[in-house]
Chains A and B, each alone.
Chain A
Amino acid sequence: MNLTPLWLALLPETSLVVAAAVSAIVSLALPQLRPGIHRWIACLGLVISLAACGLVLLSLRHVLSGVAITVSNGGFVVDSFALFIAILACVTALVTCLISDTAVRRIPSRMSAFYALVLVATAAAEAIAAQRDMVTFFIALTLLLVSLVALGALVKTDPRGGVSSFEHLVEGIVGTAAALYGLVLLYGVTGSTDLAAVARAAGAAPGAVALGVGLLLLGLCATLGIFPLRQWVGRVASSVPAGAAGFILAMSLIGGGAALARVTVSGFGPGVGIWRWLVPIIAAVALAHASLNALRETTISRLLAQLVSAQAAMLLLGLIAFTTGSRALPAYGMTAFLAALGVTAIATVAAFGVLAMLQVAGIGDAIGDLRGLAHRSAPAALMLTIAIATLAGVPPLAGFLSRVLLIASATDTHYGWLAIVAIASTLLTIIAAIRCVGLFYAEAGSEAPFTLGATPVISRVVAGAACLAGVVLVVLIQPLLAVATAGAGPLR
């Protein structure tokens, strides 16, 4: 039974697509309009989408199952998980739209396309979260990839941007191909495109199922941006203008996380054992790889990328802790997963927003160029410090707290060794972050002071607010956890 009318359930995605179409039409029909209009169109679409999500949630408040509507016999589900992801994606996109004009200022002609792509990517991420059918799931995944790659290629101002987008495309395609093959195998075994059906047929052909699951995970690693398919993260971060790069990373993180959660937890579930020892291994390797990389990065953007990747790998700890815990109580892994996902997405956008300001102010990308930042522009140093610290899990900020939640839930479900790996990698990331931050406050040397005046006020305010979220979410972690628990409900 469907408590929610179909139009309302589909409104979040449709509003975004419509807004994208509108801004495209506007740019074609009335080219003389000032390009800034497109930003506001996009924001409008996002707000509408947010409002729609809110309305659905409102109708959901009495539903225990958390499922609002199920379309095409379970292929497309709008439940509280999907809504959580949708809200998160919309907020991320909104923040991006508000701070990204430095990235698009140099390409006024392509501004409408930029915002259209942002909207489409957001819609794709929302759709991924709502999929339980292999085909549409795969389509949404590809759509996300393509739109993000196009986004990266669109805002390129120098050849490097194109190259990096190409690499992103290549890696993404490898991943997508792997995922496709995995899905094909699973379909071949189960004969159904319903992800949930895999669990039922796990016993039939364990070899094939194992292979399929492995391939699927490999593919999703590419989307999530963790080892082994994570070259593109660093490249995109370093060569795409930061305003867009942040969005690409964050949205890809959200989409990949949603996909993983849908596929593994609510799809395979405990029935398919293979992924529950495959994921921890991936997590351990990815954590070690990312955090070791973070230690030796020399450019701030790549450092941020490594930190994001490490945090993404950290998310897997929550993913595997979805059954009952050590004391036969339900484990809160998914809650931690979603909460950490939210924190990470916001922190990513915030960090790259600050980075964008620095780029506009003409500060070089090398960490050495940031020496003495505190004395050249105190606010920039403050914001960047908070953002990096949040990403790296430096206490007492929200990133650290989310890691504590993840590690505790992993320990609770007998993944102690993984917890140890996670703690060790946290040590590395913290050291990397502290080293970088220490440089900000060292002697300024010969570098001249500068201001962030080149960035519009609204962008500064929004970016600062996003950074501040890293602090505020420590105190107000409970609301986030409550929402995350609700979002994790349908998955358990």
Chain B
Amino acid sequence: MAIYNAAWAIPLLPLLGALLSFGVESQRRAAQMCVVFSGLSFMVAAILLAVRATHASAGPFVSLVTFFSMLPPEGTIFTSQFQAQVGIQVDALSASFAAAIAFATLLVQAYALTAMRGEAGFRRFFWASSLLAVGTIGFVLSPNLFDSLIMWMGATAGLYLLVSLGWQRSDNALRAMRVMVVLTAGDIALTLGVLFSWIKFGAFSSLLAAPVGQTIADPFSFNVISQAVVSTTHGSVAGAGPRALAVMGIVFVVAALVRSAQFPFHLWLSDAAGAAIPVLALAAATVAPLGLFLLARVYPVLAHAPRVLPVLALVGAVSAVLTAAVGVTHRNVRSIAVCAVVSELGLGLAALGMGGYSPGLFIAFTSVLMSTLLILVIGNLIRVYRTDDIFEMGGAWPKVRATSTALGAWALLACGLGLSSYFALSAAFSGADPAGGRFSAPERGAVTVALVIAATLGALLAGRLLLTIAGGAVVRRRGFQHDRVADPEPGLRRPVWLALVAAVVAVVIGVPGLQFVFYGNRHQVIGFSVVAALVALLTLACGVGVAVLLYAPARRATARPWMAPWALRALEEGLYVEWVTQSAMQPLLVVASRVSSFDDQVTASLAASVGESADLAAGRVATLEKTRSARYLAGGLIVIAVLTLLSVLAATGHLWVHVA
């Protein structure tokens, strides 16, 4: 359908806004221009989503532009034409996620209009966030791995520009650098996966017939890759086997884990938390879920690769547990928010890993909006209380009614009413391997246990956050007029309300929406699992219960979970990940200084040796030069005398001349 060509506008409108904003004189106008264009792109995305919903089961619509193309002459390595294309692909998945991400971007930018007023990087935030939107939305809409790579790296760059906003403080700059480096590692992993799949499947794709309106069957396209995977499992792709699939899958999983900030890579997200709240919101809501999205796109590879899915499930679940546990112990509200987001995504990864394709995507989809909601609320609270420490907040319910209501709504969603724990658990219980077959009992058992703990801890985290902030009275501290505490201005409240509505709607329409999101070209039938529902409710109950026991305003004094002090410290230190990375940097620096000093020594010693050898040669030559010409004369005469004799000898055979 031609209307789908409008999808080009979804990523390009924010770009246009960013470019035009340079031409505007006043900062505010520039910012508003960016917001307007983000709004336009959201409208287009929403329309397309509606159109798509009317005929959900149609095939994906693809429109491509060739980026560059060459036909490698050697037939041995490159059998396929090397043609990298960029474009858009509109199907249920991309349409829904594009809408969600565009909406999140719009909300955050609108929020920032007020929140960042008068800050140094005001103008830069807006064009940079629009560029980031280009990257994220473009990634969601991309039809092939090459385009995905471009957009993925573009998102990295945009995020760097955003996080380095607070450049005046060296630690912020350092954080920005760390974000960039960690994400670049993920980019490298994705690049590797792209190359690997191209090397393996290029030959296969060159045999396929070109789709309508295209010159070749694009070896990078997800469609071709899924076909290739299927025929690889039948052993009909030369040079590719289960092992190749496994390697490919692992590489993609690594890229996804980095991008969706799973333990221990959640470092980049908590680094981003140091930046301004809107930046954190964009990072958590629009960048982190892309990891799950990538896995959804390359799901065939994971599904048919041996042993990759269970690993993914286990890693996701464990990381959810760890990050939730860390979050439970932290006092810093930003870190708690980051941990909540990451553990949510961990549940999604676990669901994907246990074969729950649609449930995983449901969690990713809802997390986009729930994270937006959470972090905007947090931002308001920080603004109101002028602190990051949740133990210095409190009494929000009576005084900061609206914001604390939103927080409570989020807490309910996060406790399990958002259904993320339910879907993760149901996937684990059903444990249906999408490649047919079932996961082995130990795998399912381990993942299930981890998921239960994670869900409980998640509920605990949410409850703790809510109770500590909303309950009780405002904590008195010096230099803080606690009686002035009130809701922030409307410009900060309205986006929160919108985010709340959107999150709830996402959960509500998400349930039928599961039928809307396909895997491959067949429905994944998701039956209602009573057990999972019960367990989910159970985890909700005990999580909230523990939270009440621990953090009810009356018991605020003993607000410590009972656990061993070393474990507590470990959790409060974020399991020492930051410390480990810091100390891992040291050897590199040592090696670096060794290297440069080595080079300098080489330079110096080479210079010295050259000089010495030159002097040596010169000295030798000088000794030759010393001889004076008088000696030449004498020597010449002697030589001549000798020569006379020799010549006589040579001519006559003896040394005297016959006088005969």
Asked if chains A and B are in direct contact (CB within 8 A), the reply is: yes
> Which A residues are within 8 Å of any B CB, using their own CB?
166-167, 170-171, 173-174, 177-178, 181, 184-185, 188-189, 205, 207-208, 211, 215, 231, 289, 292-293, 295-296
Q: How far is the CB of B118 from chain A (nearest CB, A)?
A: 54
Contact of A166 among B627, B629, B650, B651 (CB under 8 A): B629
With contacts A188-B647, A188-B651 taken as known, whether A167 is within 8 angstroms of B629 at the C-beta atoms is: yes
Question: CB of B70 within 8 A of chain A?
Answer: no
B617 touches A173 (CB 8 A): no
| Smallest beta-carbon distance A436→chain B, Å | 15
Query: Could you say which residues of chain A place their CB within 8 Å of the CB of B636?
Result: 170, 173-174, 177
Taking A177-B636, A231-B632 as known contacts, 6 extra A-B pairs with beta carbons closer than 8 A to each other, sorted by chain A number, are A167-B632, A173-B636, A178-B643, A185-B647, A185-B651, A215-B643
CB distance from B648 to the nearest CB of A (A): 9
Alpha-carbon separation in the docked complex, A287 to B629 (Å) = 22
Asked whether, in the complex, the Cβ of B632 is within 8 Å of the Cβ of A184, the reply is no
Chain B: interface residue total (CB-CB under 8 A):
21
Q: Which of B4-31 contact A (CB under 8 A)?
A: none
Assess whether B207 is interfacial by the CB under 8 Å rule: no
Q: A184–B644 Cα gap in the complex (Å)? A: 10
Q: How far is the CA of A173 from the CA of B637 in the complex (A)?
A: 10
Contacts of B650 in A (CB 8 A): 185, 188, 205, 207-208, 211
List residues of chain B with CB under 8 Å of any chain A CB: 614, 617-618, 620-622, 624-625, 627, 629, 632-633, 636, 639-640, 643-644, 646-647, 650-651
Bound state CA distance, A282 and B627, in angstroms? Answer: 20
Chain A residue with Cβ nearest B630:
A170
B651 and A289 form a contact (CB under 8 A):
no
B618–A208 touching, CB < 8 Å:
no
Q: How far is A173 from B629 in the complex, measured between Cα atoms in Å? A: 12
Shortest C-beta distance, A228 to chain B (Å), equals 9
Q: Which A residues touch B640, using CB under 8 A?
A: 177, 181
Measured between C-beta atoms, what is the minimum distance from B618 to chain A in Å? 4
Residues of B within 8 A of A189 (CB): 651
Could you list 7 examples of A-B contacts with CB < 8 Å?
A173-B636, A177-B640, A181-B647, A205-B650, A215-B643, A289-B621, A292-B617
Task: Check if B621 sits within 8 Å of A296, measured CB to CB.
Answer: yes
Min CB–CB distance B612 → chain A (angstroms): 14
**Which residues on the A side are within 8 Å of B633 (C-beta)?**
170, 174
Cβ B618 vs Cβ A292 within 8 A: yes
The residue in chain B whose Cβ has the minimal distance to the Cβ of A293 is B621
The CA-CA distance from A296 to B611 in the complex, in Å, is 12
Could you say which residues of chain A place their CB within 8 Å of the CB of B639? 174, 178
- Whether B643 lies near A181 (C-beta < 8 A) is yes
Which residues from B are CB-within-8-Å of A231? 625, 627, 629, 632
Q: Tell me the number of A-to-B contacts counted with CB atoms below 8 Å.
A: 58
Q: Could you tell me if A171 and B632 are in contact, using CB atoms closer than 8 angstroms?
A: yes
Q: Which residues of A contact B643 (CB under 8 A)?
A: 178, 181, 215
Min distance, Cβ B37 to any Cβ of chain A, angstroms = 57
User: What separation, in Å, do the CA atoms of A245 and B22 have in the docked complex?
Assistant: 73
CB <8 Å contact, A208 and B632: no
Instruction: For A296, give its contact among B618, B632, B644 (CB under 8 Å).
Output: B618
Q: Which residues of B contact A208 (CB under 8 A)?
A: 647, 650-651
Q: Which 9 residue pairs of A and B lie closest in terms of their CB atoms, listed nearest first?
A: A174-B636, A208-B650, A296-B618, A167-B629, A188-B651, A292-B621, A181-B643, A170-B629, A292-B617
Query: A295 and B614 in contact (CB under 8 A), knowing A188-B647, A211-B646, A215-B643?
Result: yes
Measured between beta carbons, the chain A residues less than 8 angstroms from B646 are 211
Interchain nearest-CB distance for B649 vs A (Å): 9
How far apart sit A46 and B247, CA to CA, in the bound complex (Å)?
86
- How far apart are the CA atoms of A416 and B397 in the complex, in Å? 95
Q: Which residues of B contact A167 (CB under 8 A)?
A: 629, 632
| Closest chain A CB from B18 CB (angstroms) | 50
Q: A215 vs B650: C-alpha distance in the bound complex, in angstroms?
A: 14
Tell me the nearest residue of chain A to B619, going by C-beta: A296
A58 → chain B closest CB, angstroms: 46
Give A296 to B621 CA distance when docked, in angstroms: 9
Most chain A CB within a 10 A radius of its CB, from B614, B629, B639, B643: B629
What distance in Å separates the Cβ of B154 from its nearest Cβ neighbour in chain A?
A: 47
How far does the Cβ of A188 sit from chain B's closest Cβ, in whole Å?
A: 4
Instruction: Report A-chain residues with C-beta under 8 Å of the C-beta of B647.
Output: 181, 184-185, 188, 208, 211
B contact residues around A205 at 8 Å (CB):
650
Cα separation A469 to B646 with both chains bound (whole Å): 48
Within the complex, the shortest CB–CB distance from A241 to chain B, in Å, comes to: 21
**CB proximity of A387 to chain B, nearest CB, Å:** 24
- Bound-complex Cα distance A458 to B599 (A): 55
Instruction: Compute how far the CA of A185 lies from the CA of B651 in the bound complex, rounded to whole angstroms.
Output: 7
CB distance from B641 to the nearest CB of A (A): 11
| Beta-carbon nearest neighbor of A235 in chain B | B629
Q: How distant is A294 from chain B, measured CB to nearest CB, in Å?
A: 10
Kindly name the residue among B617, B627, B650 whose own CB sees the greatest number of chain A CB atoms within 10 A: B650
Within 8 Å CB of A296, what residues of B? 614, 618, 621-622
Residue of A whose beta carbon sits closest to that of B643 = A181
Write out the residue numbers on chain B whose beta carbons fall within 8 Å of the beta carbon of A295.
614, 617-618
CB distance from B91 to the nearest CB of A (A): 64
Write out the residue numbers on chain A whose beta carbons fall within 8 Å of the beta carbon of B620.
Answer: 292
Alpha-carbon separation in the docked complex, A208 to B647 (Å): 8
Query: Is the beta-carbon distance between B632 and A174 smaller than 8 angstroms?
Result: yes
Specify which chain B residues have a CB less than 8 angstroms from the CB of A207 in the assembled complex. Answer: 650
Please indicate the chain B residues that have their CB under 8 angstroms from the CB of A173 in the complex: 636
Question: Nearest Cβ distance between residue B630 and chain A, in whole angstroms?
Answer: 8
Q: How far is the CB of B626 from chain A (nearest CB, A)?
A: 11
Report the bound CA distance from A391 to B614 in whole Å. 22
For B627, the closest partner residue in chain A by CB is: A231
- Considering the complex, give the chain B residue whose CB is closest to the CB of A168: B629
Min CB distance A420 to B, Å, is: 17
A184: B residues at CB distance < 8 A: 647
Task: Tell me whether B632 and A170 are in contact (CB under 8 A).
Answer: yes
Smallest CB separation, B370 vs chain A (Å)? 70
A166 to B633 CA separation, bound complex (whole angstroms): 11
Query: How far, in angstroms, from A295 to B620 measured CA to CA in the complex?
Result: 13
CA distance A295 to B650 in the complex (A): 43
Min Cβ gap B619→A in Å is: 9
Cα A188 to Cα B657 in complex, Å, equals 14
Residues of B contacting A215 in the complex (Cβ-Cβ under 8 angstroms): 643
Instruction: Kindly list chain B residues whose C-beta atoms are within 8 Å of the C-beta of A293.
Output: 621, 625
Greatest chain B CB density within 10 A among A167, A185, A296 is at A296
CA gap between A282 and B633 in the complex, in Å: 22
Chain A positions within 8 Å of B632 at CB level? 167, 170-171, 174, 231
Q: How far is the CA of A404 from the CA of B289 in the complex (A)?
A: 66
Distance (Å) between the CB of A239 and the closest chain B CB? Answer: 13
CA distance A205 to B644 in the complex (A): 17
A231 to B629, CA, bound (A): 8
Please indicate the chain B residues that have their CB under 8 angstroms from the CB of A171 in the complex. Answer: 629, 632
Complex: A240 Cα to B5 Cα, angstroms: 89
Residue of B nearest to A209 (CB): B650
Residues in B with CB closer than 8 Å to A178 are 639, 643
